[in-house]
Amino acid sequence: MYTKYSAQFCPAGLICLEAVASDIPDDYLISTPFTCPSGSYCLRASQSVIGSGLCPIGYFCPANSPEPVKAPEGSFTGNLGSVDSTECSPGTFSIRPQSGECAACPSGFECKERGTTVPSVCSVGFYRSAIESNICSACPKGTFSFERSAKDYLDCLECPAGRICEVEGLKNITETAACSDGKVCGSGTGAK
């Protein structure tokens, strides 16, 4: 910036138009530096009315930003000139900072909270398909699953003949009951 005293550079986070005579910001006097507008960043010696530029995708710039701020993990900024980051919605996640968007939670995992950074694996006896809810569901009665991260209810195995799988979310055949004396239990039996 040029002053009536000597040539100087405008401080970072401010905008200095020509003929600035002070280094104290005042957004109403043209002879003083202006605060950098929200959505823009102002490197040292910024002289444009939008500062050094609009905040890029993956970053945000509150007012007086000397440089763009990376969107943190679990959030994103999808537009130029963002003033803040947005947390990922349930069902999505962002594992790295500086994301322009959140990714869909993969099958066999759940992303049930806002701002998820790492999807959680569905436990043994549970599943989650990509088109269903944001959380893992228990394998239904008459089935069991001994694997983690089952991707669909079809990954839940039928209860074998002669056994009863009477509760949801069974993890193992050892948790099943034997068929009562004199009764016939076919595969997939879920009640006594």
Q: How confident is the model at residue 178, as a pLDDT? A: 84
Domains of the chain: 122-192 (2.10.50)
pLDDT band at 7 (very low <50, low <70, confident <90, very high): very low
Q: How confident is the model at residue 163, as a pLDDT? A: 85
Question: What is the per-residue pLDDT across 67-121, written as a single tens digit (0 to 9) for each?
Answer: 999 999 999 999 999 999 999 999 999 999 999 999 999 999 999 999 999 999 9
Q: How confident is the model at residue 164, as a pLDDT? A: 85
Using CA atoms, how far apart are residues 185 and 192, in angstroms rounded to an integer?
9
Q: How confident is the model at residue 27, as a pLDDT? A: 67
Q: How confident is the model at residue 5, as a pLDDT? A: 47
Q: How confident is the model at residue 2, as a pLDDT? A: 41
Q: Between the ranges 6-15, 37-46, 106-115, 176-185, where is the mean pLDDT highest?
A: 106-115
SS3 content of the chain, % helix, strand, coil (to 5): 5, 20, 75
Ranking 25-29, 62-66, 157-161, 166-170 by mean pLDDT, the lowest is 25-29
- The neighbour count for residue 12, using CB atoms within 10 Å, is 18
Q: How confident is the model at residue 183, as a pLDDT? A: 73
Q: How confident is the model at residue 1, as a pLDDT? A: 41
Question: What is the per-residue pLDDT across 17-34, written as a single tens digit (0 to 9) for each?
Answer: 776 766 677 666 767 788
∠ CA 71-77-78, rounded to 5°: 150
Torsion of CA 119, 124, 126, 127, to 10 degrees: 60
Q: Does 60 score more than 80 pLDDT?
A: yes
Question: How large is the average pLDDT for residues 39-55?
Answer: 86
* C-beta separation of 128 from 156 below 8 A: no
Using CA atoms, how far apart are residues 180 and 163, in angstroms rounded to an integer?
9
Q: How confident is the model at residue 50, as a pLDDT? A: 80
CA distances 136 to 45, 61, 107, 125, 160, Å, are 53, 37, 9, 10, 24
